Structure 1
Amino acid sequence: MYSYSLLIFITVIFSAYGTIPFKWRDCSIDKSTQAIQVTSITAGPVPLVAPGPLRLKFSGKVLKPIPIFMIEFDMKRHGFLGTRIPVPCVGGVGSCVFDGCSFVDSLLNSTRTSAQSVAKQALQMIESVNATLKCPIPVEDINVQSYTINVPDLGPIAHVIGDGDYTVTVRTKVPGTGALLGCLSLDVSLGKQCTGLFCGIGRKRK
């Protein structure tokens, strides 16, 4: 469950301007294998801006125990005339696959201070609602009523992905079999701090 909350924080790392409203949907198909169910998410501001505050509210359930899992991210940029352009995995950013049980530790041990900062704040948020952070993940409900993440200056990471709107899908799977434990799709509008005399006159699109 915490992997879904961290997904939101990771998408902030991609620092980009955008215009679409924040939207989410549960994209799980096979309910017989579903172990993670998200019931609500709100996030703001729109666009999400780095550096700056990220305000969150969400709820979900772990429906059955999860001993081990993998996390598969699929990121697509919204292009001209409704096209969707796949974003490859570069340095752990984009359409990447991670070991779910070591995912949090990998962020905390990252050489990027921005990733460490976001991960630490995410952990504090999850701990504030007494949720489980380590495998195995037990059956539990998670309800975050209101929480603010202070997103730091992201440095070079902000240039990995260009300005634009994105759809990010995260799939939680069983290693080996690939059975789908949960699926969440997010439409996000991502931004960066704008400064200077002509700030706000227009938005640059690559």
Structure 2
Amino acid sequence: MPRAVREQQMLDAAVQIFGQRGYMAASMDEIAELAGVSKPLVYLYLNSKEGLFTACIRREATALTEAVRAGVRTDLPVDRQLWDGLQAFFAHTAEHPDAWSVLHLQARTHGEPFAAEVAAMRTEIVSFVTRLVAIAAREAHRDPDLAEREVAGFAEALVGAAESLATWANATEGVTARQAASTLMNVTWSGLGSLMRGHHWVPPAGED
């Protein structure tokens, strides 16, 4: 069997074990057995448990960002682009729950360099969302300062909400990717629409 194919089998097994058991509890013996290879071969290909986990993070982060980008047609109106991007995100995380567990739960809680790998993926997605929000603001022809003052924070909040909602949807029976995307789209588009119309919520007078 070609090395590249066998390595993907190892990564498939590792994502399943890491996603379901957690990084600390996962054993190389389990991963090797599930992949149908010897433990020394796993070490030969991927050097260490840390190296294997890093390879899993990189592969799954790339797959998620590619799925989101592939789901969006840039020739469509911006609300449709955002909707399609959300659907692609929730569909991918629903179809690959172990991979999402690795990215969102495991990698973030075991320090560097794992957290840095996930942060790079998140930065790419936030940049993508920022662009969509900025386009929507420009198309509204209102508040030229909106892109600098509001868009970056709006995009961060949207991505954070999507991450939390994906984890909740995967753990909640009966919640589909489309339902999760619809929930977040309704909240997002209502808020973004208000911003573009110049309707800003402000704290009550006299409060810091």
TM-score between the two structures when normalised by the length of structure 2 = 0.22
More strand by share: 1
More helix by share: 2
Question: Which structure exhibits the higher relative contact order, with contacts defined as CA atoms closer than 8 Å and separated by 6 or more residues?
Answer: 1
TM-score between the two structures when normalised by the length of structure 1 = 0.23
Higher gyration radius (CA): 2
